[in-house]
């Protein structure tokens, strides 16, 4: 995390989820692992859900990476990466490192989190937040969504074994995305 008066790190990693709903907390766990590995290179924010108020945290960033659980992984593997453009439009990714397999056109990136009411700002996904930014004319950095398959969303703490094994893979993907342009992530 940056401290008051310090330069804002160019990359913000947002871990989304509820760690009291088992695998729903995987986004938070991945973000916290990235923070431990690169404490001065990235800023990390964890939240239960994406809200429009988070847009102010996007200011002066080169990139924002949102990590969240998904039960909708139809294809592309258990960890998926998508570029989400201003206005909430998704694509396969453009300038992504070869080491990051971009997996399609955002079916796993919800406009709103599952179970929310249509049009509700209480549970916006990254696409919804960026669509709102587009309508409001708020500038946004390069944004990426990393979704990790969730197998157990029941009440309880800790990830299921199936999701637990995906954390390291998701961390590597986030680090590869965030590391584009770093001369040496260990020194930054």
The dihedral built from the CA positions of residue 70, 127, 61 and 142, taken in this order, carries a sign that is: positive
Q: Where are the domains of the chain?
A: 11-178
Confidence of residue 73 (pLDDT cuts 50, 70, 90): low
List 148's β-bridge partners, or say none. 69, 79
- pTM (predicted TM-score): 0.76
With b for 16 or more beta-carbon neighbours within 10 A and e for fewer, the 115-126 pattern comes to: ebeeeebebbbb
Which of 66, 62, 83 has its CA nearest to residue 140? Answer: 62
CATH superfamily of 11-178: HybD-like (3.40.50.1450)
Type and span of the H or E element at 14: strand 11-16
Confidence of residue 99 (pLDDT cuts 50, 70, 90): very low
Average pLDDT over residues 146-152: 94
Instruction: Pick from 2-6, 73-77, 83-87, 154-158 the range whose average pLDDT is largest.
Output: 154-158
Confidence of residue 175 (pLDDT cuts 50, 70, 90): very high
pLDDT digits (tens, 9 = 90+) for 109-142: 444 444 434 444 445 778 888 888 888 888 888 9
Average pLDDT over residues 161-185: 81
Say what the pLDDT of residue 87 is: 62
Distance, CA of 84 to CA of 185 (rounded, Å): 24
Six-digit token string for 35: 């923070």
Say what the pLDDT of residue 185 is: 33
Distance, CA of 49 to CA of 162 (rounded, Å): 23
pLDDT digits (tens, 9 = 90+) for 1-34: 444 555 777 899 999 999 999 999 999 999 999 9
């Amino acid at each position: 995390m940056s401290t008051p008066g310090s330069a804002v790190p160019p990359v913000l990693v947002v871990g989304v989820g509820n760690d009291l709903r088992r695998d729903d907390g995987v986004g938070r766990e991945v973000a916290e692992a990235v923070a431990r590995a690169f404490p001065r290179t990235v800023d990390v924010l964890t939240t239960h859900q994406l809200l429009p108020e988070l847009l102010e945290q996007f200011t002066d960033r080169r990139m924002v990476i949102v990590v969240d659980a998904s039960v909708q992984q139809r294809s592309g593997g258990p960890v998926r990466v998508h570029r989400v453009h201003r206005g909430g439009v998704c694509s396969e990714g453009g300038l992504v490192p070869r080491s990051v397999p971009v997996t399609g056109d955002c079916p796993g990136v919800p406009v709103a989190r599952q179970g929310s009411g249509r049009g509700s700002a209480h549970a916006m996904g990254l696409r919804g937040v960026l669509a709102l930014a587009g309508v409001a004319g708020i500038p946004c950095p390069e944004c990426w969504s990393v979704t990790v398959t969730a197998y157990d969303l029941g009440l309880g703490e800790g990830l299921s074994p199936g999701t637990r094994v995906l954390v390291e893979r998701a961390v590597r993907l986030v680090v590869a995305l965030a590391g584009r342009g770093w001369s040496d992530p260990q020194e930054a």
